[in-house]
Structures are given as C-alpha cells and as structure tokens.
Structure 1
C-alpha cells in the first residue's frame, strides 16, 4: 500500500527542498540521513526531481498545472502499480497531494531531437520491449481499446471559441470545426473496428523522452527492490496514458514520434525500417518469425492507425492551447497534425 502524505510541492517556491522533505518521509531508510548527504537533481523545471543517496535513487514527480483535465491521476497510479507487479515499471513509494515518489531507471532518455529514433539505433530493442508490454497478462482495467473514448473526451474539451482572436482565426483558416473533427473520428472508428486488430496493454506515448537506455548490463536498485536489466537495456517511463489499446496504435504512435515535435514527416520510418521493427516485435510477441503476408498486414494496419495518432495528439494539442501555461505553441502543432491526417486519409483508406 502506497504511503499517503498530506503535503503539496509548490514549484514556484523551493521545490527541491519540498522534494527532499517528501522523499525522506517516503523512504523509511532515509529518515536519519543528513540532508546534505542526499543529492537532488532537477530533471524537468521543478516538475520532476531525482534524489539519490549512495546507489539508491528515487524520482519525486509533481503533476503539471491543469493536467488533470486530460489525465486521470488515480488511473495513472493504478497503471504504475499494475505494471510494477510484472517488473515493467518501478515501485511507487508514496503519494502526496500533487504528485508521487517512485523508483528510478538508471540511464539516459533518447535525445529530444529524435536522432536516435530516426536512425533506428534501438529499433530492435524498443520493438521487443513493446512486445513484452503488449503480451503482459493480468493487468486490471477495461480491456477495450481506449482510443475512441479518449478522442471523444478530448474533443469535448476543445473550446467553441478560444480566448484570443488570433487563435480563433487560426482555427477558422484551418477549417477545423468540432463537427468536422467528429465526422473524421467516426470514419476512422467505423473502418478500423472492422479490422482484426490485436489489443494489449499499451504505453500510448512512446516519444524519445519516454524511452530510457542503459548501456550497462547491471542490477537496478529500487531501494530494497531490484530489477535485473536484461540484454536489451531499454525501458519505458512516464505512464500517464497507459491503458489497453490497439497494439497498432502504440507502434504507429512511436513511429510518428520519429518526426519529433518539429513534425519533420520525412523522418517517419521507411518501410524497410518498419519491417525490421515488425520482425523483432512479432518474434517476441508470437515466438516465431512472421510470414511476408503478416508483415504486409501489420504495415498496412500501422499506416492507417498512424492517422488516428495524429488526430489524438492533434486534438490533445487543441485542448492544451486552451488550458496550458507553457510557452509551446500548441495550436499550430495540433492543426498541423490533424490536417496531415485528413490529407493522407484518401491514400491509406482507398
């Protein structure tokens, strides 16, 4: 049972001090350690801090402002707990009012420019790790694909009008009314539900920053709990969107992330790179080499599902343009992804 702490971290004041105090309450074995002996490293603008003492490290994660509009935090905690039971996520040590303390995977995230993805350096290892996720058994929750309900939920959060004339003009120029977006969602749902698509427990957000690579084959310490790194040395982190979904969504979404936040669509993996991924993925998933016809079907299904990924994150960005306090320009990003999907739909759904 996770410890519940009635404490809040204010990221505008002294988040490192707050994170240290909360970590010492969460970690029983740290209570008598001097503060100066515990090193704190800020990882994400005060939102996440890594704390360590000797070989033991934990993360103190603070929820971003307004993110509860898009993310069910109770479901996120349940997801991490379930994944932890089968060694696919680190343990949660404590939960506080606006975040939680959990274990830490040693290593580095793949670079934010997505070069490591676009070069396919870890294509095989990511494919095999994803297959482990999708074949995992016993994770509780709704076994239906989550994507359709999420699309409708997010669309309902898009404002009829934005707070600035500039944003309203951008939406008008793009010809993206909520009614039109809803029509597109219904089209994809009607077509894809007819296909024979596998469903498994998916990460649903495998961008470069959510893949950790540790080149050293060693034992990770989770403070009295440990996990032996296997030969792949690849781990997935940040489980906010974890849920049952189409396996093809997880794969297609990962391929879309090869394009980066700049949406360099030319970096989307070639058919050859995708086939390399599918071969490793399906061999781990099914225990055998896939046939040529199976590879072609996965290729077709993933290409089609990639358009749903663009709609998902496109609509997500339209909501963020309304609620986020970050400086990222969400609206043109969302419009770009949705328009790209609409433009390519005739080519992939003949």
Structure 2
C-alpha cells in the first residue's frame, strides 16, 4: 500500500451501509398490550421472518444482522451485502438506446417504508467511536439490550463483540448473540465519525437510502440510535480494483448501474455535481492549518486557477446535455460486493448518492480503475470502455448498441471524469483539515488535480470534436 491509497484508506472499509432516516419513522405508533408482550419475546430475525409476506422488496429472509457507525480506516474489509431480491416484474422502457426492466419505484418505496417503520427499533444511546474495543464493548451490549427486548435479560457472556473494520466515515462492529435455544444471530454496529458532516450531507444520504433500499439495493434496517444504525447481513466480498476490469464482472457492473440509475427518489431532480463542487470549493479555499509545513504547502494552491478551471469545465459539460439520473457517485471497488454463490452483485454506500449526470457516475467509476495505488495509467482504454458501455446501454442485447450511442456516452464519461478529479481533489483538501486520520490528504489534492490537468486537453478536444460533429449533422 502506498501513500496514495484512497481505495483502502477511504473506502476499503465500506464507508456506506444503508442508514434509515429518523424523520420517516413513526416512533409513537401505539401497540396493544398483547403486541408488546409478543414483541418482547421476538428476536430481530424472527420479527423479519414473520413480515416477509408483506415486504415486497426483500423476499429473502435475513440470516445475519448488523448495527453500524462512522470513523478512520484500517486495512481490513468487511463482507456484507443486500438481502433484497433485485428482480421486479415490470414493463420495458427504451432510454438513450437502453432497454431496461423497471418498476414503479415510488409505489414500491412507499410500501416498504411503511413496512419498515413498524419494525425499526430506536434508541437514544450513543457510542464514542474513538474508544478502544474493550471500553466500547459494554456500551455496545447496553445498546443491543436497549434496542431488542428479546435480548434485554441475556447475560453479557451471550454476546461477542468484534471489530470488523474502521473507515474514514464509519466504524463497523460485529456482535454475535447466542441464546438459550442455541440460535445464534449476528448484528453490526455502525458509528458516524467526527466531522463527517463537513463532507457528507446526512439528510440527503438518509432520504436516498430509504428509497434505494426499498428498490432492492440495500440490506434490512433493524434499528437506529444516536450515532448509528442496525442492519441485516449476508456474506459477500468486496471487489478488488483489478476485478472491475475483468470483462464478465465489468458487464455485470454496467447492467447493475443501469438498473440503479432508474431508482426514483421523490423531491428535486436537479443534478448535484456542481452544487457539491462549489460547496467543497468554498470550504477548501478558506482553510487554515496549525501545522506550518501544511499551511505553507496549502498556500501554493492557486484557488483563482481552480475556480476558473471549474467554470470552464462546467461550461463544456453543460453542452453535452448528459441525461440526469439517480447516481451512486462513489462507485469504487470497495463499494461493489459480490455474492458468488448466488451470482449477485450489489452496490453499497450511498453517502454521496444524488441525482446527477449519467456521464459523471460512469466517468467517476472509470477513474476508480486506478485502484488502491492511484495508478491512473490503469484508466480503461476505449475497448474496455465500449465493452462496459454496451452492457450499460442495452443490458440484454449489448451487441445491438449503435456506434452513435456508444460515442455519445464515451464522450460524456471521459469529459465528466475530469469533474471527478476536481471533486475528489477538493474533498482531499477538506479532509486534510478535518480528518483525524494520518494520511497525506494535501498530497491527494495535488495528485487528483494533476490528473485533471494531465488529461484536460485530451478530453476537451474529444468533447469539442464531438459537439462540432453534432452541430454539422444538425445543419445538413
């Protein structure tokens, strides 16, 4: 691992498990005395098994559970994935040369939201993610007993708490619970890390996660507490950067991304890329560092130049008129999981998800081919990109994609990959000030900004040539 390991430093620990928005849960639903008594003896697993017939988004009962939290990374990875079926019967829709199966996402999401609301367990407890595991364990047990009545009288010896991983924005703990009937259940605990609100819009994340999960992309929610949440679990493994370029997996990712882009989230459909870039720019351009060496390095940055580059890039990207879809916005290898036994692929971590440009989500994904070492010479070539784009545009009949549609999306993805470099460069500056992790975030800014400038001329010419060709066609 080198100094530029964003993949493992930032995301190898799976920054984003689904988080249930507190605002949509009705905590004061009244229950009968009989219902309360039944709830006391019901385990989280049993409760969800008993409600599977009413929850259309997750027909497979969970085998494990998780609680989750936010912090600094370590080298380990955790293995977990969605319990949801990704199959919905629905009509076919043609969109930009792509035929996909879609459903009524708002209807599905609303039904699932109501199903979840009566099953989510709240707690006002919080846990300091900076504590060492021995000091944290009693607090975790207290939380588990507070959230799940069936566990409230269990002896502490019935619980085993393990640290799965710690990431830039979350800490994951595995809690195994063995009861008298010899049934063992497992949950994880996710804690939000300090200062993550400077980087992540939690309200947007929670709103998005609710509907993404309802559409079949996330795990079951079991509970929510002061600074974390409870989530179901299935064994799966995260992909490596080299996995993403393997043709069969690349095709799977492309097909899944097409499906993800058809998720419908209520509210504004405005793309958030430039809003987020400008927010990051405003924060990044007024930082002050206590470390004199860092401050001196920071002062070498010309924010006037960065500002002008953003304005110029936005102007070019706007001319491409890339379709607005619901985007993941952080699709690196650590956020893609594979269940080999079921041959299912899952996207996780929706902390940056929003409506955005199609070209940006794909271009950002291509930039992640650079891997943990940030070797941007590994950026996919035209043949690799065309393979991906064919399966994205027509998942069932990739060989039928027209050259025109391929060219259009190829230009979009590569032009918007420049925006990805700008976005994550500014992100690195803010992290340099706010993060407690020992990592050269200032250096990361210069790395990404250098990549932007290294490829700017090539992709600007690509986009300008494409736009000129389109203009000539229209004038004929």
**Correspondence for 1:110 among 239, 255, 262:** 239
**In the alignment, which residue of structure 2 is the partner of 1:228?**
none
- Gaps spanning 5+ residues in structure 1: where? 218-230
Equivalents in 2 of 1:24, 1:42: separation in Å?
19
1:227 maps to what in 2? none
Q: Could you report, residue by residue, the CA deviation over 1:181-233 in whole angstroms, capped at 9, with x for unpaired residues?
A: 1211111211111212111111111111111111112xxxxxxxxxxxxx4x1
> CA 1:336–1:56 in 2, change beyond 3 Å: closer, same or farther?
same
**What are the equivalent positions in structure 2 for 1:167-316 lying under 5 Å apart?**
167-173=294-300, 176-217=301-342, 231=343, 233-284=344-395, 289-316=400-427
How far apart are the structure 1 equivalents of 2:383 and 2:157? 52
Q: Counterpart in 2 of 1:62?
A: 191
SS at match of 1:87: helix
Change (3 A) 1:21 1:75: farther
Structure 2 spans left out of the alignment, 5+ residues: 1-24, 26-119, 178-182, 462-476
Query: In structure 2, do the counterparts of structure 1 residues 129 and 347 end up closer, same or farther at CA, with 3 Å as the change threshold?
Result: same
Aligned length: 331
In the alignment, is the contact (CA less than 8 A) between 1:210 and 1:238 conserved in 2? yes
Match of 2:126 in 1: 8
State the partner residue of 2:281.
155
| RMSD after superposition | 2.4
CA distance in 1, matches of 2:460, 2:381: 19
How far off its partner does 1:78 sit?
1.9
Secondary structure of 2:305's aligned partner: helix
Residues 69-95 of structure 1: CA deviation (Å, up to 9, x unaligned): 111223222221111211111233222
The answer for the alignment partner of 1:101 in structure 2 is: 230
Distance 2:353 2:298 in 1: 30
User: Take 1:275 and 1:28, find their aligned partners in 2: how far apart are those partners?
Assistant: 53
Q: CA separation in 2, counterparts of 1:292 and 1:346?
A: 24
Question: Contact (CA 8 Å) 1:117, 1:258: kept in 2 or not?
Answer: yes
Q: Give the TM-score normalised by the residue count of structure 1.
A: 0.86
Once the two structures are TM-superposed, the CA of residue 32 in structure 1 deviates from its matched residue by 5.5
Q: Is the 8 A contact 1:81 1:91 kept in 2?
A: no
Quick one: structure 1 residues 344 and 104, their matched pair in 2 at CA, closer, same or farther if it must change by over 3 Å?
same
Match of 2:257 among 118, 130, 151: 130
Q: Hey, what's the Cα distance between the residues in 2 that align with 1:41 and 1:269?
A: 38
